[in-house]
Structure 1
Amino acid sequence: MSNKHEFRIMRQGYDRFEVDQVVNDLEHENKVMQKQMQIFKKQVETLQEQRDIIKKRYQQLVGEIAVRERAAEEMSRLALREANSIIDNARSNADMIVREAMSTSRQVLVEIARISNESNELRDELKFRIKDLEEAIDGLELPDAPNLNLYSDDQDTSK
């Protein structure tokens, strides 16, 4: 209904039945609106309670997230420290392995040099002895071979 209502004018004023009907309609509309207002108030209260519950849960979650972030940061820091320790230990081990390898390499090179020198000395000595043997062989006087024609197959008793 609208707020402005025009009533029929009668001899003694407005039409009483029409006015009573409009007043009854307005009272009924007022009651309906009062009930709706109570329902809306209850809904608002319920929504505020839900909001408060959700707000508390949100605050709890924010707190839990902060705790988890601190724990994750601490774990990350510890993991980084452990990784750095492992890397330092690996470097130290690698340096020790390299030093041992270099020492072994030096020993192997010294041994190769010694063997090479000994081989050169033995080669020179062998050359000298081979030369002596050649000279000795060249100096050998071998007897002349006998004439095989002197012997015939008839006289060969070895058969």
Structure 2
Amino acid sequence: MVDVPAEPRGDEALLQVEAAGTCGTDLMTNKWEKFAHRMRPPPILCHELSGIVIKTGPETRRIHPGIRVRIESHLPCGNCYTCHRGWSHVCPNTLSQGIDFNSGFAPLVNLPERCLWQVPEGISNTADAKMSRSDADSSV
């Protein structure tokens, strides 16, 4: 049984998860390898998902209820030396959904707006969840 997430705060959005996928990271954490030492059990895994925005926090700007979104699985801090140099892909403070906070293997999840991207029309939820691995920007 999973608790219903609280109301979205700040720049968060409450998503109704429509499709979610399993990747190597989920398998590694299941065996308590690699990233698992960062987890606070019991985590809700998955960082490859597609969903519909149900509600938004007061500080969201790009997204709104009713749109379909995919997630970008890594959240660089935006404040460190590497992020300020434009090298966020190697940020030492990067957080990941399903490891550092709950994610897509739940029916509802709150996620920060900065990791949400609108899904173009014509792409199914299942296909989009699979494409989340590419972290391609399908910006709003």
TM-score class, shorter: under 0.3
Greater RCO (Cα-Cα under 8 Å, separation 6 or more)? 2
Q: As a proportion of its length, which structure holds more strand?
A: 2
Structure ranking higher in helix proportion: 1
TM-score by length of 1: 0.11
The structure number with the bigger radius of gyration is 1
